[in-house]
Structure 1
Amino acid sequence: MSSMGIEALSFPQLPSTPTVGATDTTLGADRPQGPDGPSGDFGDLLVKSLDSVESMGDKASDLSVQAATGDLNAIHDYTIAATEAQVATQLTVAVRNKAVEAFTEIMRMSV
């Protein structure tokens, strides 16, 4: 059984130099290009990461039900999934706390 680990939350590597066409004047044309085309923005990455955390929690929840009903043969699968979900949730909360802290600090700045 394959399990989705914390590496699912890692940020993709961007190329060191952006690839921009000489005649391309569209908005966002100066964005770095990834192997699958233009790299997504931060919002897309955030949504994907939150979906990943949610799917980890759903997987752990499903396995806990299987363990409670006796349908799960390998209890370590549930333990691993629950731990992954817990660590991913803790990471998400830490990132959220840092974002709120940064926003609060920006709001304190005098203009």
Structure 2
Amino acid sequence: MEITSQVQAPFLQNSQIAKPAVENKVEGFGEILKNTLQDVKAAQNESDKLTGQLVTGEVQDVHEVMIASQKASLSLQMTVQVRNKVVEAYQEVMRMQL
């Protein structure tokens, strides 16, 4: 029995660690979407700001501007793809016969 308890002990410890803390507030899909859109907007604003600073000569590091631009572009592309999937799912549900 000692061997079994030693083998099971790490699993029991890990199961206690793996349990997430229960929070009172659970975010819904709408809240997550709203937060994500705000993040996309912030990335777009940061990209615009750095591009303007590059044009005026305030920023010398072109890499920083390009990275910000790519982050904004990728986040927008991902948002559009998520929107497309949500619309497809909605259309699929509407096609279901009850």
Aligned residues: 81
Q: Distance in 1 between matches of 2:65 and 2:78?
A: 20
Percent identity of paired positions between Structure 1 and Structure 2: 33
AA in 2 matched with 1:88: S
AA in 1 matched with 2:94: M
AA in 1 matched with 2:88: E
Q: Which residue of 2 aligns with 1:106?
A: 93
Q: Which residue of 2 aligns with 1:65?
A: 52
Does 2:71 correspond to 1:84?
yes
Runs of 5+ in structure 2 lacking a partner? 1-17
Shift of 1:93: 0.4
Runs of 5+ in structure 1 lacking a partner? 1-14, 20-32
AA in 1 matched with 2:26: S
Q: Distance in 2 between matches of 1:84 and 1:16?
A: 33
- Bigger share in helix: 2
Normalised by the size of structure 1, how large is the TM-score? 0.66
- List, as ranges, runs of 4+ consecutive aligned residues in structure 1 with deviation greater than 3 Å: none
Aligned mate of 1:56, from 37, 43, 49: 43
Normalised by the size of structure 2, how large is the TM-score? 0.74
- CA distance change for structure 1 residues 41 and 16 in 2, over 3 Å: closer, same or farther? farther
Q: Is the radius of gyration larger for structure 1 or structure 2?
A: 2
Does 2:81 correspond to 1:94?
yes
AA in 1 matched with 2:49: D
